[in-house]
Structure 1
Amino acid sequence: MLWPATLLGAAAGLALASIPGALLGGLLGQMLDRRMRLRSLEHLRQLLGLQRPQMDDEDLLFMLLGRLAKSDGRVLDSHIQMAAGEMQRLGLDELSRRRAMQAFARGKQADKELRGPLRALQARPERAEVVLRTCWRMAWADGRLSEAERLLIEQWARWLGFPRAALQAMAEEYRPQASVPDTPGGDYQAALRLLGVRADSEPRLIKQTYRRLLSRHHPDKLAGAGASAAQLRAATDKTRELHAAYELIRRRHGFR
């Protein structure tokens, strides 16, 4: 392991007071390395705010989802629930969920910083496809596809080097065949039946049931198994129905 503070302390001490200074500087630096658990010079720069942490796949994905959610000016509950469902599907632990939420919030204002990471995904076309599929689901999370959302996804597809024809075919897969009723005017009893909960169920149980169903019917599980476009569309419609039902029940019960 590289001890950055140790090396920097020794170098500074050597410059100031020759060998004794190097020994003292190295000792103090080693104490700092151990206390802060520094791993590299890049890690030290990150802690000092001189360098952004390297963006991994999950950071990039949730930044994109955050940018889509904010593209029409306001993040809706359906956007937040979709992001939460994605965290559930990915099996993120508490620390990873917090990081994903931070990336989602950071992505609301992101634009230029997404270009480089997306272009880097050109070498991983399978991952690029997963990213775009998740973006289409976020775009349809509120039941409609806005012009701003469409333009963003098309721009990201260009940066990914994703063929336009393939993107259009993917867009059709996620377009709902029939409109799902808006949450406020939906049928409360039908929503309870869809989730398999009762009107007197505890909020914790409702949330757990919703997330379990969302994970079970997630389109990504079919996408990796060579499902047809019709099957993917049906799975997408099912997750949208679950979103709408959960939102209706959540509002009726008054929990978040």
Structure 2
Amino acid sequence: MSRTLPRATSSRLARLDSNIASAKTYLIARQIKGTIMSPRGASRQPRAGDAHHAHGNSMQWIGKGIGGLLGAFVAGPVGSLLGVLVGHQWDQAKSGGSAREISRLFFETTFEVMGQVAKVDGRVSEDEVRVARRIMRGMRLTETQVQAAIEHFTRGKLADYPLEGRLGALAQQIGGRGDLARAFVQIQLQAAIGAGDVGAEKRQALWRVANALGVSRAELAQIEAIVRGFEGGGAAAQVQSLDAAYRVLGVTPQASNDEVKTAYRRLMNQHHPDKLVARGLPKSMIGVAEQKTHEVRTAYERIKAQRGFK
């Protein structure tokens, strides 16, 4: 004799089956998340370009929104989770490479381009080799890393070194992270200036590097002011130092106090060492960011003392 369950009981069992199915799908989604958000993908960072920062933050949700809508049509709320995860990967792919990949390429290209710029005037001087080794020591590289840096420096000196191609690859990995591009350019300027006078050929090569990474001439001049630092002593030197301080902050002497403060806060945020490392700057190069923040702070304090504001 067949027996029929009450309608309420059947409804509860149907909901239970649905919940079990949803739970299974959720667990599968979690597994997918664990796969696609592996260390290689999980390290990817949002764009941090200055002019496109706010725009980039909003754009990063476009892929998630599209994926979520598609998932909702396909499989309901849990499908939305799957869709958002897929959309998240799309967003990250549009935002540049992973921090791990950026760090590797940043390290290699740093020393290759350093060798290329050193050789651009025909020969690499002893001073240029000495400065390159000093930079390596300042980064506290391991012996293995030093050997790798030397190999990349030597590769960069080759006549057929693909400068544009390597810079293009780095620019693609960096995405919109203008802070990393400026850090790269700063290292190249440190090497060039540290070795002596920067001639026309080297200056043109440095501009090619900056331009390939989206760094403007104004930014290049600002970075050079940071690298050269400030000269102390004497009234004339104080005037020059004050002028350099304005260049470091990227403002003119006619800027208001509020404009000076805004420029200072923006630069300190851009060059925060921890943020740069999180975005892909090799930890061995954290000294670059620390030098920048020191020079920016020094410039701000000098202007503040001259103007008398707090």
TM-score, normalised by the number of residues in structure 2 = 0.40
Structure 1 or 2, whichever has the larger Rg, is 2
